Chain A
């Protein structure tokens, strides 16, 4: 029990400090932070519709959190979840608009598979370059993110353009759309939430029970020792990036199949980057990631209501930035925690 408390102390305290500092920023622009946070909580949990909305927002965040967290376990920093998510959704959208003739039992897994493969392949490029040349995956995946943005823009304003207004792809066939679990008002919670929880279970089992999970962890902790122990470092780096990318691609494809039903520019909308703070808050642990995703999902949902009193949604990004900073330099929080323990 003590171990659990110790391991969640850093992320929890980091979140608290981040919210406090953000409260100061809200104060600085002349708004009342207590009122703001009140609206935040109400917007996230204040009604059945709000709760469903929060869960809808949480679904892809669990997956991008798993993607980034899995990468961290393997010693790679996958900032590219954003682009991999978009690529997964894009590729799936390209094909899934033609799946009208297939039954859902075939169309749904097939679409998911395409999305995961697209995300995996996109990430594997960075993984391969890192394994072969040592190119830092942060630089390459960010470059790939930008590349995805422009490729997607090209596709939905050109070959796949549909209708007028915001550029978007054609709608995917109904057989490729995820079934709805719950409907409250205008909010529809799709089966995507179940997919993301299953993915979390998969990550847990994979990392703690399988030989490949052992190898990936070994490579993440000490690639020299791993190689010495007969583990192929190159193969595992590429594999880890591919699995990470597959999870991000799955995030994109569940958004496609469960929410938007077509590809739009804002489909990924920062969720890949959210994955970074989620992985860090969740300490790269599947259960922690689920909770962290719920937190960020709640913040994002609640911030819509907060906007009406003039506090920009960007505050959520600021909160995340502070959390990432404090978790990365975790000695800061540990020093505070130690001092509190001594006083107690």
Chain B
């Protein structure tokens, strides 16, 4: 192991905005934080980096008062603090912008900002004053929001700004941003960085939690790296690079790009024509999408969450009604057909939310593994299940896909996230499909599991499967896809090949610019 610790000059408590000293936190079965010490200077942008499961979120939740440390000390501006809940942390000047926004959909922006600290007039809630105060903050810090809009009606970028205003309303001088860029386009990320620099200039201290190394390199002053609950690196940003950070994050040299065989697609196996789909609120989520997938190719759909990808996937896999348009599988029209028919024809689906959609937690592994084919031979004879064959198959699958623990009776909900996903991936692949829909396959997984699943996808591609990949991780899209489509507000902004485009170009499409505009505009610049 190669711990990297640089020497910091001895400094006094008062120079630090936050000192987390020897913080230890244990949950049943896992030591989430193991004597973690992190010191954050006043007025700096400090990044805390690590994979999923490294312990960053747990650490921040203790700083915000949602959990109490089992042992260790927290000092804010030199003063020892014990937080019994978020109110205490808020009083100490700490604010948190959560990864999954903590907003009440049916209330307005102003109501969300003041909730818990509402201005009052007599016995009544003073909505007028709330709106005024939020508007003032919005203008002061350049965070544009519509104070009377309901959260469910505003775009994700504005929702994030509301989260930031929430912290400023409560007088935060230390702001924690937990994976803030996961839901933003590359351009919106730049806008966020501008906001962050402004906040820094007005004296705030910022904690930036992320696993995206390029962003960390761009915005932070210093970096703390965590792995397996421990601190494995303390770095000064201008003196380090992405490889060094990655090595401290993972503990070994990381393969950043897998080998991919050249693109040799065969005939079209799956097609979508001018598809229109509504979301849960009866608004158009997919607006006239057309695409094709051939055997032996991976078609990647990039896009920020909330632009219709989920609804597109659900429509394709028979879980949501198609309002207009056609879905064609191996030449046959399968629009609005039930998932059973699609599965029988050879389509499988690795779902975006595995706990909600793909796995039945109280079922043992051997029941989960046959879901979708449970009524067919060899798993069933007529009306009765063939338990012997089901169990044999499960043992085989768990071996092939390295699912641990190798206990077929283990309940689905008791496996770790990575192993649950391996079960699901194994089930969908071993069903021998002709076409697979793969949605956010590696969300929340550690590097080892991510590598494994990427290898499986490329293997399927070599075996002439058609694969439709939907992901919000641009790196994943770039490294796996043969062709990339970008979705924005329910429409395809353009189609490119990964070797013929740039992150910047894809980012512009994710933000709403069509390919022709981008390339047309560039041509004009060159003339």
Contacts and interface: CB of A to CB of B under 8 A. Distances in A.
Direct contact of A and B (CB under 8 A): yes
Interface of A: 209-212, 214-215, 217-218, 221-222, 224-232
B351 to A, nearest CB: 6
Contact of A229 (B344, B361, B372): B372
B378 to A, nearest CB: 13
Contacts of B342: 230
Contacts of B125: none
A288 B380 CA distance: 28
Contacts of B452: none
Contacts of A215: 374-375
Given A228-B349, A228-B351, A211 B360 contact: no
Contacts of B384: 209-211
Contact of B360 (A209, A212, A221, A230): A221
Given A212-B383, A225-B359, 12 more contacts: A210-B383, A210-B384, A211-B374, A221-B362, A222-B359, A224-B356, A226-B371, A228-B317, A228-B339, A228-B358, A230-B339, A231-B340
B356 A232 contact: no
A156 B319 CA distance: 48
A160 to B, nearest CB: 39
B371 A229 contact: yes
A215 B360 CA distance: 12
B371 A218 contact: yes
A225 B362 CA distance: 12
Contacts of B363: 217-218, 221
Contact of B383 (A211, A221, A224, A232): A211
Given A214-B374, A218-B360, A228 B338 contact: no
Given A209-B384, A209-B385, A210-B384, A225 B356 contact: yes
A225 B371 CA distance: 9
Contact of B343 (A211, A224, A226, A230): A230
Given A221-B360, A221-B361, A225-B360, A230 B340 contact: yes
Contacts of A229: 339, 343, 371-372, 374
Contacts of A222: 356, 359-361
A230 B371 CA distance: 8
Interface string B387-400: 10000000000000
Contact of B319 (A214, A228, A232): A228
Nearest to B340: A230
Contacts of A211: 374-375, 380, 383-385
Contacts of A210: 383-385
- Of the candidates A212, A218, A228, the one having the most CB atoms from chain B within 10 angstroms of its own CB is A228
A230 B361 CA distance: 17
A221 to B, nearest CB: 5
Interface string B326-369: 00000000000011101110000101000011111111000100
11 contacts: A209-B387, A210-B385, A211-B380, A211-B384, A218-B360, A221-B361, A222-B361, A225-B371, A227-B339, A230-B342, A231-B340
- Of the candidates A218, A222, A224, A232, the one having the most CB atoms from chain B within 10 angstroms of its own CB is A222
A231 B362 CA distance: 17
Contacts of B319: 227-228
B5 to A, nearest CB: 43
A232 B367 CA distance: 17
Contacts of B338: 230, 232
A226 B367 CA distance: 12
A223 to B, nearest CB: 10
Contact of A230 (B357, B359, B372): B372
A126 B375 CA distance: 27
Contacts of A231: 340
Nearest to A214: B374
Which 3 residue pairs spanning A and B have beta carbons closest together?
A: A230-B340, A229-B371, A211-B375
Nearest to A210: B383
A232 B361 contact: no
A296 B357 CA distance: 40
A209 B381 CA distance: 11
Contacts of A218: 360, 363, 371
Nearest to B367: A214
A230 B341 CA distance: 8
B178 to A, nearest CB: 27
Nearest to B382: A211
A289 B349 CA distance: 39
A222 B413 CA distance: 12
A210 B374 CA distance: 10
A237 B156 CA distance: 37
Contacts of B372: 229-230
B357 A228 contact: yes
A209 B383 CA distance: 8
Contacts of B339: 227-230
Nearest to B427: A229
A226 B349 CA distance: 13
Interface in B271-297: none
Contacts of A232: 338, 340
Contact of B385 (A214, A227, A228, A230): A214
Contacts of A228: 317, 319, 339, 349, 351, 357-358
A234 to B, nearest CB: 10
Contacts of B360: 218, 221-222, 225-226
Nearest to B338: A232
A222 B344 CA distance: 21
A224 B358 CA distance: 8
A222 B371 CA distance: 12
Contacts of B351: 228
A201 to B, nearest CB: 15
